[in-house]
Structure 1
Amino acid sequence: MDAVFDICYLSPDGSNIEPDDIPKTKDSVWILGKKYSAVQDLDRIRRDITSVIWCTYRKGFVPIGNEGLTSDKGWGCMLRCGQMVLGVALVRIHLSADWVWTPDTRDPTYLKIVQRFEERKQAPYSIHQVALMGASEGKAVGQWFGPNTVAQVLKKLIAYDKWSSLVIHVALDNTVVKEDIIQQCIVKNDRGDNSSTPSNVTSDWMPLLLIVPLRLGLSEINPVYIDGLKMCFESPQSIGVIGGKPNQALYLIGCVGDEVIYLDPHTTQRSGLVENKMTDEQKEMDCTFHCKFASRIPIMAMDPSVAVCFLCLTKRDFVELCTNIENNLMKEAQPLFELCEKRPSHWGPATSDIDLQNTSLFTEFEDVDRQFDDSDEEFEIL
């Protein structure tokens, strides 16, 4: 547990130094749609960052598919970023936006969420499920995903998990269509057990995770998009951006000044199970899902291929997001994306590409013996 949580930062002479995660600045810090003061709220910023479910490379898990891969090191970073976005969404739906994790947390709802990302059979969002579903998007197991691919995969996987109580909408052609989203989110109360749905979520609105894949330049970010990207981070509905540096996926959770703040999946940790967090080993494994400090890069160092993510728990949230897009984002000289009431005529009718009867994906690796690495080696920083 200490290997993850009690990180010691030392200067060249061996003395303790303050980690350079949040700059000492008068600029506002924006993390997952919340505004902080870098000076007055530093402890709260770090507490909230640590509470995010941190997904990283793992090793020693059940072999995936015919390839027999037992680690996603070198190819799974974008898949892990997708898991982190979904983790934030599930925590906000089933716990709250202000929920706080500690090493002693044993909340059963939290455990139910984190178990969904473990490398085990039947975990709805394990690396196995994400990688195998990627085949439907033309990506073989072990092949690197882009932001749009991981968004499409999550959209398909969420349909198999009724407990999550979430709709994922992936915008097409830089265009958010209100009509399509409302048709997806306004539902009858027949989608399984909604007993865990918070009271602030209306019974006829399924919480929405809106993902908008974008290309903000050719080989690097076009500066004309920077202000719009900052507006996205500052939106109350923001749950970050799937993106990164060239050839290195990162979960971008916020911004300060002209820098973005991110969680990095490029740490290889052993696979294992949190289960009910009763044993020391399970407690240690739970701590591997939380990172004490975030990191920063200049916005201009980002890869131009991104996917901005918003969570609307209620219809009111969605209306507020649309108003914000119309009044601010779309008034930029070069808007990041468009918002329209109805589908463009040349798109054709909306169709579902998810076959809920085909559940073979969830049993493909069910009969494989578990081969978790039980060595004492700690994780590797890449």
Structure 2
Amino acid sequence: MEAVLAKYENQINVFSEYLEDLPDTDEPVWILGECYNAKTEKTELLSDVHSRLWFTYRKKFSPIGGTGPSSDAGWGCMLRCGQMILAQALVCSQLGRAWRWKADAGQPEEYQRILQCFLDRKDSCYSIHQMAQMGVGEGKSVGEWYGPNTVAQVLKKLALFDDWNSLAVYVSMDNTVVIEDIKQACSNTHGNRATTCPLSQSQLLSDWRPLLLVIPLRMGINHINPVYIQALKECFKMPQSCGVLGGKPNLAYYFIGFVGEELIYLDPHTTQSALESEAGSGVDDLTYHCLRSPRRMKITNLDPSVALGFFCKSEEDFDGWCNLVQQEIQLKRNLRMFELVENHPSHWPPFVPPSKPDVQTTGAGNSIRKTKNFEGFFKCSHKNHQAL
């Protein structure tokens, strides 16, 4: 197995064509809604990039489903990118966009709790185990490669079991974002969110649940249509930006910004050993932050299948995002990336906010527990595991 993984990673290094060092340019560098000067603010820029949670391939974790793979090398890159976009939303929700990670400093309790959610254990609510098994319900065998839309659907379902964050994940369909549906999904009063953990004081005072909005798109046929490039850049400028899932065919990256005509991304294609950690204990988090210079690739090399991510902590944030989309994407472009409409289209089926199945959970970092009605969900399919 080790030889297979080493061979795979060598192939990744040959074909990734990444650019390591930040360019010496006067052009602004945009990272998830923040603007930097690469010449005068390089330290601040790198601190921002290094603070993002970085999830990579791991090996030597407990077998998925008990008898499945113990490494996700070669197939889990989009799942890892999905973890990164979700982790960014949780960090913004719990710590704020301005929070910065420091390797030699103690980390807030909220940070440790967020990281616990993603550890490579079957009882972590956003672990590779939970994501791979939830993907079975989306028609993906454990060990099969995912696209951006599929991983977004998995995140939407898993978020229903995370009572601590109480995050609403809305995945648009048919390139259309429906304001009415999102406001219904984010309302704490729509009655379908029965939780086993008490809501925080801020949640009790607000009728809005924090929103991770994911917009799957296809911006071309075989290559990205140049007409969409400027609109894609505008998305990274928005303060609500939570990054973009995409990459090249069968190579997923988590895009966090751009400079000039190049996208900046975090690359999950590094295999590290899974960490041993008891639930509730601190995590040695150094391997969860990419401390080298961020990688870059030409925008024109981007595969047209992507998923845009945005985080709106409040209804005011969402309203502000809607205004930015109308001004910067809809009114300025003849060919729009996506549509933003006020009301639910009459020819669509009625919108029903997603609700949690009748299973038990004890909050963030804990597993979805089996019940009689949910037994079949956890059965893994292994037909794609032979190479691993």
Tell me the TM-score normalised to structure 2 length. 0.83
Aligned-pair CA distance for 1:247: 1.6
What is the root-mean-square deviation in Å for CA atoms of aligned residues?
2.1
- Per the alignment, do residues 66 and 138 of structure 1 end up closer, same or farther by CA in structure 2, a change over 3 Å counting? farther
Contact 2:359–2:369 (CA under 8 A) maintained in structure 1: no
For 1:115-194, what aligned pairs fall within 5 Å after superposition? 115-188=116-189, 191=195, 192-194=197-199
1:99 aligns with 2:105: no
On the 8 A contact 1:165/1:197 being kept in 2, the answer is no
**What residue is the counterpart of 2:244 in the other structure?**
241
Per the alignment, do residues 66 and 20 of structure 1 end up closer, same or farther by CA in structure 2, a change over 3 Å counting? closer
Specify the alignment match of 1:287 in structure 2: 286
1:271 pairs with 2:274: yes
Q: State the aligned residue count.
A: 339
1:51 and 1:363 map into 2 onto residues whose CA distance is: 32
User: Secondary structure in 1 aligned to 2:177?
Assistant: strand
Q: CA 1:67 to 1:139, structure 2 compared with 1: closer, same or farther past 3 Å?
A: farther
Question: Quick check: 1:106–1:277 contact (8 Å CA) kept in 2?
Answer: no
Contact 1:116 1:124 in 2 (8 A): yes
Counterpart amino acid of residue 152 in structure 2: A
Partner of 2:233: 230
Structure 1 unaligned residues grouped into runs of 5+:
1-18, 365-382
Inter-partner Cα distance in structure 2 for 1:357 and 1:300: 46
Q: What is aligned with 2:377?
A: none
Give SS of 2:145's match: coil
Equivalent residues of 1:209, 1:310 under 8 A apart? yes
| 2:41 partner amino acid | D
TM-fit CA distance, 1:351 = 2.4
Q: Quick check: 1:179–1:342 contact (8 Å CA) kept in 2?
A: yes
8 Å contact kept, 1:169–1:208:
yes
Q: Is the 8 A contact 1:213 1:308 kept in 2?
A: yes
Residue deviations 1:52-109 (CA, integer Å, cap 9, x gap): 1100000001101265200000000000000001111111111111111122333211
Alignment-mate amino acid for residue 58 of structure 1? R
- Pairwise CA distance, 1:352: 4.4
Kept after mapping to 1: 8 A contact 2:161/2:368: no
Shift of 1:249: 0.1
Contact 1:121/1:363 (<8 A) preserved: no
How many Å apart are 1:246 and its aligned residue? 2.2
Aligned residue for 2:11? none
Aligned-partner Cα distance in 1 for 2:235–2:158: 25
- Report SS of the residue matched to 1:73: coil
Q: Secondary structure at the match of 1:345?
A: coil
Displacement after TM superposition at 1:202 (Å): 6.0
Query: Within 1, Cα distance between the matches of 2:175 and 2:356?
Result: 26
- Separation of aligned partners in 2, 1:342 and 1:177: 6
Q: Which moved more, 1:142-151 or 1:328-337?
A: 328-337
Q: 1-side partners of 2:352 and 2:95: how far apart? A: 32
Q: 2:302 is aligned with what amino acid?
A: M
**1:333 maps to which residue?**
334
Partner in structure 1 of residue 111 of structure 2: 110
- The answer on 1:262 being equivalent to 2:261 is no
Once residues 179 and 40 of structure 2 are traced to their aligned partners in structure 1, the CA distance between those partners, rounded to angstroms, is 39
Map 1:1-382; keep pairs closer than 5 Å: 20-65=20-65, 68-103=68-103, 104-188=105-189, 191=195, 192-195=197-200, 197=202, 203-274=206-277, 282-283=283-284, 286-292=285-291, 293-331=293-331, 332-352=333-353, 354-358=355-359, 362-363=368-369
Task: Tell me the distance in 2 between the aligned counterparts of 1:307 and 1:350.
Answer: 21
Ranges in structure 2 where 5+ consecutive residues have no aligned partner = 1-18, 362-366, 371-388
Q: State the TM-score, normalized to the length of structure 1.
A: 0.84
